C-alpha cells in the first residue's frame, strides 16, 4: 500500500469535500517502481476520489479553492467520515521466482518477432496484519486482523529485438509493463470494537468481537445490560444483595442446627470427663506443690546471701577502676580538644583565601557566559527567522509535506489557585555601564508561591485507540517575574528610576497526583487485545480497573437487577438449587433421626437392664473395696510421710555441711584476692603514672613540633602567596591580551558561522568556542598548587555548565516559540461563527490560520439538537509540523421562541 501524501491547508480542506472538485488535470499514482502516471481531464467529473491529488489550481463552485479557504467561505454539506486502513505484509518464507519468456508480434512484417515478453511469477508465504479506523454518523470502529496464506506477484517486462544483416537478434533493456498481486489468505485472528450503532437500525452499544484459533467470542454492553462470556469480579450485587452472601446464607441454617447438636453432645461428654479427673489431680498437685515450695525456699535463701556478697565485692572494684580510667580519659580529651580548635582556626583561614580566589574565577566565568549567550541568541534568532520564512513560502506554494499517520493529541490544563502566596520582591543594582561610579539599572525579582490545583484533560486518537484522561494534581506553583528599570542622575547625583520593563517569567511546580481517570477504547498498545479499559485512582491512593474484552469482563464490582447464566436466571437457579438441597437434607435427616431414635430406644432399654444388674453387683463389691481401701490408705499415708520426713532431714544436713565448706572456701578466696588486689593496685598505680607521663611528654613534643611546622608552613605559604600575586598579576595581563585576541577570533568565527547557517551548512557551535586551554600541576603539599587546581576546576566546570545551559536554553526557546506560534495558528484556523441551522442538521466548516510565519488548517462540525436551543460544535486543526489541536463547544439560547 502506498501511503505517501502531501499535507497542507489546501489538502486538509479538500479531504472533506463531498460535493465534488473540478480541476484542469490531476495525477493518479500507479504501481510503485514503474514511473508511470495517468493524466485525466476532470471537466466533466462531479466528484474525485484519490490518495494524492496534485494540481496548480483547484476550482470549486467557480472560485479558487485556496481563495475560499483564506476567506473562510468553504462549506461542506453531508456527513464527515473517516475510513483509514493500514496493512503490513510480512514474508514468512520467500518463494522461488519463475520466469516465462514469449515472443511478441511481427509488427514490421519481416517474419521475425519485434519484442520479447517475459513474465516473472513468485509465490510467497506471508502474514498480513491489517488495522483500520472508521468513523461515521453511526459509530467509531477499530479493527485488527491477522491473515496467513500465500501471495503471488506477477511482474511483466518487454524488451525490443533488433537484427543485424545476418539475422542475429540483439535484445534491448527489459522495460516493466505492469505488476499483478493475487492473494490466497485465511483469517487467523480478528479483533473488532464498535462504539455506537453497528447498523442504521441497530441499538446503541459497545460491541467487542474476537475470533482466533480457539473460536469466536463477543461482548455487548447496552443501556439495558451486559452480555459476555465470562465475568471476573471482586463482588457481584444481585437485586440489591451481594451474590456471595446469598449463596453463603443458603446453607447456613442447616449447618447451624447440625453444629448445635454436635456441640451439645461433645460439651456434655467433656464436662463429665473433666469432673472425674479434677479431684484426683487437685489432691496430688497440692501435696507436690507444698514439698517443692519448701525445698525451693531453702535453696534460694542460701544462694542469695552468697551472690549478694560476691556482687558487692565486684561492684566496688569495678567502680574504683572506672574512676581512674575516667580521669585519664578526661585529660586526654582536653589535649585533643585544644589541638582540634587550633586546626579549625587554621582551616578557616585557608577556606577564606580559597573563597576569595573562587569568587574572582566565578565572576570571570559569568562575564564569559553572558557574552556567549548573547551571541548564540542572536545567531539562533537569525536561523529561526530563516526557518519561519521557509515554512511560510512552502505553505504558500503548497510544497509543505508531512508523511505518516495523522493523530489527535489534545491536552487541556486548568490551574486553580487554592491559596495565593505573599509576593516577595528582591531589588539589586545592575552594572555601571558608563563607568561613572553609579549603577545604570535597577533589577527587581518578584517571587510568589501559590497553593494550586491543576486539572488536566486529554484526548488521544490514533490508529490503535481513543483515549480520554482526566488528572487532578495538587501542590505548589512558584512564579518568578524579573524587571529592569533604567536609572538616570541629575547634576546633583539624585537618581530617577524609569519604568519597570519585564525581562522574563519562570514558573516552577511541585505537584502530586491526587486523582486520575482514564478510559481507553481499542488497543492500548500495538500488541494488546482490543478492549474497553477504565482505570481510576483516588486521593487515598486506591486504584481500580475494569477491562471488557470479547471473551470476558474483569472488574471490581458488578451490580445488576438480574444475571443470566447459561440461559437461565442466576437467582432462580440458586433458589431452586438451595430448595432441592434443603429438601434432600431434610428428608435424609428425618429418616436418620427416625432410625436413630428407634435404635436408641432399644439400646436404652437393654442398657438400663444391664445398668440395674451392674448396679447391684457393684454395690456389693464397692462395700468390700471401700473397707480394703480405707485400711490400705492409712498404711500408705503413714509410710509416705515417714519417707518424706527422712529424706528432708538427710537433704537439710547435706546442704548445711556443703554451705559450711563453701563459706570456708569463700573466706580463703577473699583473703587471697585481697592480697593479689593490693599488689595489682600498686602495679596499676605505677603503670598509670608512667603511661600518663609518657603520653603527656609525647603530646607536648608533638604539639611543639606541630606548632613549629605550622609556623614554618605559614611563612612558606605567605612567601608563595606573595610570589603568586606577582605571577598572577603578570598572568592577568597576559590573559587580558589573550582574551582581546580571543574576542576578535570569536567575532570572526561567529561571522563565518552566520554565513554558513545562511547557506544551509550545519556548522556546529562548538567550533566557535575553542577557547578553554587549562593546565593544572598538582602538588598536594603546596598551597599555591592547590589554589591553582581549584581555580582551574571551577572555571572548567563553569564553562562546561555554560555551554550546556546555552544549548539547552536555546533548544527550549526554539521549541516553545515554534509550538506557541503553531498553537496560535491552529486557534485562528479553528475559529468559526456558528451558522443558523435547524434542529437535526449538521454543518461542516474549514479554515486556515497564520501567525508569525507558522500556518495551520482546521476542519470543524456543528449541529443543532432537537430542542432547537442547544448546539454543539467541534474543530480539529493541524499545523505545519504535525501539531494537532482541537476545540469542543456547546451553545444554548435563552429566551424567545
HEC-encoded secondary structure of 237-297: EECCEEHHHHHHHHCHHHHHHHHHHHHHHHHHHHHHHHHHHHHHHHHHHHHHHHHHHHHHH
How many CA atoms are closer than 13 Å to the CA of 451, on its beta-carbon side? 2
Grid cell for residue 430: 545592575
Across residues 597-621, what is the average pLDDT? 76
* Residue-wise pLDDT tens digits, 437-461: 889 899 999 999 999 999 988 888 7
Candidates 855, 851, 858; CA nearest to 874 is: 858
Residue 369's CB is within 10 A of a number of other CB atoms, namely: 17
Which residues partner with 639 through β-bridges?
Answer: none
d(CA 64, CA 55) in angstroms, rounded, equals 12
Residues 6+ away with beta carbon under 8 Å from 40: 25, 26, 28
Which pLDDT score, from 0 to 100, does residue 420 have? 94
pLDDT category at 338 given cuts 50, 70, 90 is confident
d(CA 496, CA 493) in angstroms, rounded, equals 9
Which pLDDT score, from 0 to 100, does residue 365 have? 62
pLDDT category at 520 given cuts 50, 70, 90 is very high
Q: How far is CA 365 from CA 45, 150, 230, in A?
A: 71, 69, 69
Which pLDDT score, from 0 to 100, does residue 722 have? 73
Q: Phi, psi at residue 508, to the nearest 5°? A: -120, 145
Three-state secondary structure of 92-103: EECCCCEEEEEE
* Residue 400 DSSP class: -
Pair 452, 477: CB distance under 8 Å: yes
Per-range mean pLDDT, top range of 5-14, 176-185, 598-607, 870-879: 176-185
Residue 639 has pLDDT above 70, yes or no: no
Across residues 792-798, what is the average pLDDT? 68
Candidates 873, 852, 864; CA nearest to 893 is: 864
Which pLDDT score, from 0 to 100, does residue 6 have? 28
Pair 21, 60: CB distance under 8 Å: yes
* Residue 406 DSSP class: -
Q: Phi, psi at residue 800, to the nearest 5°? A: -60, -45
722: enclosing H helix or E strand: helix 570-758
Across residues 772-784, what is the average pLDDT? 47
Residues 6+ away with beta carbon under 8 Å from 33: 176, 179
Categorise residue 896: left if φ over 0, alpha if ψ from -120 to 50, beta otherwise: left
Residue 814 has pLDDT above 80, yes or no: no
How many CA atoms are closer than 13 Å to the CA of 375, on its beta-carbon side? 20
Residues 6+ away with beta carbon under 8 Å from 238: 246, 560, 561, 562, 563, 570, 571
Grid cell for residue 710: 605550622
Grid cell for residue 34: 514503474
Please state whether the predicted TM-score (pTM) of the whole model is above 0.85: no
What is the β-pairing status of strands 842-851 and 568-569? Answer: unpaired
Which pLDDT score, from 0 to 100, does residue 651 have? 64
Residue 548 has pLDDT above 50, yes or no: yes
d(CA 34, CA 178) in angstroms, rounded, equals 8
pLDDT category at 121 given cuts 50, 70, 90 is very high
Cα 494 to chain centroid distance, Å, stands at 59
Grid cell for residue 277: 479427673
Amino acid at each position: 500500500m502506498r501511503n505517501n501524501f502531501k499535507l497542507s491547508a489546501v489538502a486538509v480542506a479538500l479531504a472533506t469535500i463531498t460535493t465534488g472538485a473540478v480541476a484542469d488535470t490531476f495525477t493518479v499514482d500507479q504501481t510503485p517502481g514503474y514511473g508511470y502516471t495517468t493524466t485525466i481531464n476532470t471537466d466533466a467529473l462531479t466528484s474525485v476520489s484519490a490518495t494524492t491529488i496534485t494540481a496548480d489550481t483547484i476550482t470549486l463552485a467557480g472560485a479558487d479553492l485556496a481563495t475560499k479557504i483564506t476567506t473562510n467561505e468553504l462549506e461542506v454539506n453531508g456527513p464527515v467520515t473517516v475510513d483509514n486502513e493500514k496493512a503490513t505484509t510480512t514474508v514468512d518464507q520467500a518463494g522461488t521466482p519463475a520466469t516465462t519468456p514469449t515472443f511478441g508480434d511481427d509488427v514490421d512484417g519481416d517474419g521475425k518477432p519485434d519484442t520479447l515478453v517475459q513474465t516473472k511469477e513468485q509465490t510467497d508465504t506471508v502474514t498480513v496484519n491489517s488495522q483500520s479506523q472508521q468513523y461515521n454518523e453511526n459509530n467509531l470502529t477499530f479493527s485488527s486482523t491477522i491473515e496467513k496464506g500465500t501471495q503471488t506477484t506477477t511482474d511483466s517486462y518487454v524488451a525490443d529485438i533488433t537484427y543485424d544483416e545476418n539475422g542475429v537478434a540483439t535484445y534491448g533493456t527489459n522495460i516493466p509493463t505492469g505488476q499483478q498481486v493475487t492473494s490466497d489468505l485465511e483469517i487467523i485472528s480478528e479483533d473488532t470494537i464498535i462504539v455506537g450503532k453497528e447498523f442504521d437500525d441497530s441499538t446503541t452499544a459497545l460491541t467487542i468481537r474476537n475470533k482466533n484459533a480457539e473460536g469466536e467470542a463477543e461482548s455487548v454492553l447496552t443501556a439495558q445490560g451486559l452480555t459476555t462470556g465470562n465475568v471476573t469480579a471482586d463482588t457481584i450485587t444481585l437485586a440489591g444483595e451481594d451474590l456471595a452472601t446469598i449463596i453463603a446464607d443458603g446453607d447456613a441454617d442447616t449447618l447451624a442446627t447440625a453444629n448445635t447438636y454436635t456441640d451439645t453432645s461433645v460439651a456434655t461428654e467433656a464436662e463429665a470427663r473433666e469432673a472425674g479427673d479434677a479431684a484426683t489431680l487437685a489432691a496430688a498437685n497440692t501435696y507436690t506443690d507444698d514439698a517443692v515450695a519448701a525445698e525451693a525456699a531453702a535453696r534460694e535463701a542460701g544462694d542469695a546471701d552468697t551472690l549478694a556478697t560476691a556482687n558487692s565485692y565486684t561492684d566496688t572494684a569495678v567502680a574504683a577502676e572506672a574512676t581512674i580510667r575516667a580521669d585519664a580519659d578526661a585529660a586526654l580529651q582536653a589535649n585533643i580538644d585544644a589541638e582540634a580548635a587550633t586546626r579549625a582556626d587554621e582551616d578557616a583561614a585557608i577556606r577564606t583565601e580559597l573563597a576569595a580566589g573562587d569568587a574572582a574565577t566565578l565572576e570571570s566565568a559569568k562575564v564569559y557566559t553572558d557574552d556567549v549567550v548573547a551571541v548564540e541568541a542572536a545567531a539562533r534568532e537569525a536561523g529561526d527567522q530563516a526557518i519561519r520564512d521557509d515554512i511560510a513560502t512552502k505553505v504558500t506554494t503548497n510544497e509543505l509535506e508531512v508523511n505518516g499517520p495523522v493523530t489527535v493529541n489534545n491536552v487541556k490544563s486548568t490551574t486553580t489557585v487554592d491559596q495565593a502566596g505573599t509576593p516577595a520582591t528582591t531589588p539589586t543594582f545592575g552594572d555601571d555601564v558608563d563607568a561613572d561610579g553609579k549603577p545604570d539599572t535597577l533589577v527587581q525579582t518578584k517571587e510568589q508561591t501559590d497553593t494550586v490545583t491543576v486539572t488536566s484533560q486529554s484526548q488521544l486518537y490514533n490508529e490503535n485507540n481513543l483515549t480520554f484522561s482526566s488528572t487532578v494534581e495538587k501542590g505548589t506553583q512558584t512564579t518568578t517575574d524579573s524587571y529592569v528599570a533604567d536609572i538616570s542622575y541629575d547634576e546633583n547625583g539624585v537618581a530617577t528610576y524609569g519604568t519597570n520593563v519585564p525581562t522574563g517569567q519562570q514558573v516552577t511546580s511541585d505537584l502530586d497526583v491526587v486523582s486520575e481517570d482514564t478510559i481507553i477504547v481499542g488497543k492500548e498498545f500495538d500488541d494488546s487485545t482490543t478492549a474497553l479499559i477504565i482505570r481510576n485512582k483516588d486521593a487515598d491512593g486506591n486504584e481500580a480497573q475494569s477491562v471488557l474484552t470479547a471473551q470476558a469482563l474483569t472488574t471490581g464490582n458488578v451490580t445488576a437487577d438480574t444475571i443470566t447464566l447459561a440461559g437461565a436466571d442466576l437467582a432462580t437457579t440458586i433458589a431452586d438449587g438451595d430448595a432441592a438441597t434443603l429438601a434432600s437434607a431434610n428428608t435424609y435427616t428425618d429418616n436418620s433421626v427416625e432410625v436413630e431414635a428407634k435404635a436408641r430406644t432399644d439400646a436404652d432399654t437393654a442398657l438400663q437392664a444391664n445398668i440395674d444388674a451392674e448396679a447391684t453387683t457393684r454395690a456389693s463389691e464397692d462395700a468390700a473395696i471401700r473397707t480394703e481401701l480405707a485400711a490400705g490408705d492409712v498404711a500408705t499415708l503413714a509410710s509416705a510421710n515417714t519417707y518424706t520426713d527422712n529424706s528432708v532431714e538427710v537433704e537439710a544436713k547435706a546442704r548445711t555441711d556443703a554451705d559450711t565448706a563453701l563459706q570456708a572456701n569463700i573466706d580463703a578466696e577473699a583473703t587471697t584476692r585481697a592480697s593479689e588486689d593490693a599488689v595489682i593496685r600498686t602495679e596499676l598505680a605505677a603503670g598509670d603514672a608512667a603511661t600518663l607521663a609518657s603520653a603527656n611528654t609525647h603530646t607536648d613534643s608533638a604539639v611543639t613540633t606541630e606548632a613549629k611546622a605550622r609556623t614554618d608552613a605559614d611563612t612558606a605559604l605567605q612567601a608563595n602567596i606573595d610570589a603568586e600575586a606577582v605571577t598572577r598579576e603578570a598572568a592577568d595581563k597576559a590573559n587580558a591580551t589573550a582574551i582581546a585576541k580571543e574576542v576578535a577570533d570569536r567575532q570572526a568565527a561567529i561571522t563565518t558561522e552566520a554565513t554558513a547557517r545562511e547557506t544551509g551548512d550545519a556548522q556546529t557551535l562548538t567550533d566557535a568556542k575553542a577557547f578553554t586551554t587549562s593546565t593544572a600541576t598538582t602538588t598536594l603539599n603546596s598551597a599555591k598548587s592547590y589554589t591553582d587546581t581549584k581555580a582551574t576546576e571551577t572555571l572548567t566546570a563553569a564553562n562546561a555548565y555554560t555551554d550546556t545551559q546555552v544549548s539547552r536554553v536555546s533548544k527550549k526557546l526554539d521549541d516553545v516559540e515554534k509550538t506557541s506560534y503553531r498553537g496560535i495558528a491552529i486557534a485562528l484556523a479553528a475559529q468559526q461563527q456558528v451558522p443558523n441551522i435547524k434542529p437535526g442538521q449538521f454543518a461542516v466548516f474549514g479554515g486556515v490560520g497564520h501567525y508569525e510565519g507558522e500556518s495551520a488548517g482546521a476542519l470543524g462540525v456543528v449541529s443543532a439538537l432537537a430542542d432547537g436551543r442547544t448546539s454543539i460544535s467541534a474543530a480539529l486543526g493541524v499545523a505545519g509540523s504535525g501539531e494537532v489541536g482541537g476545540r469542543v463547544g456547546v451553545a444554548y439560547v435563552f429566551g424567545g421562541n
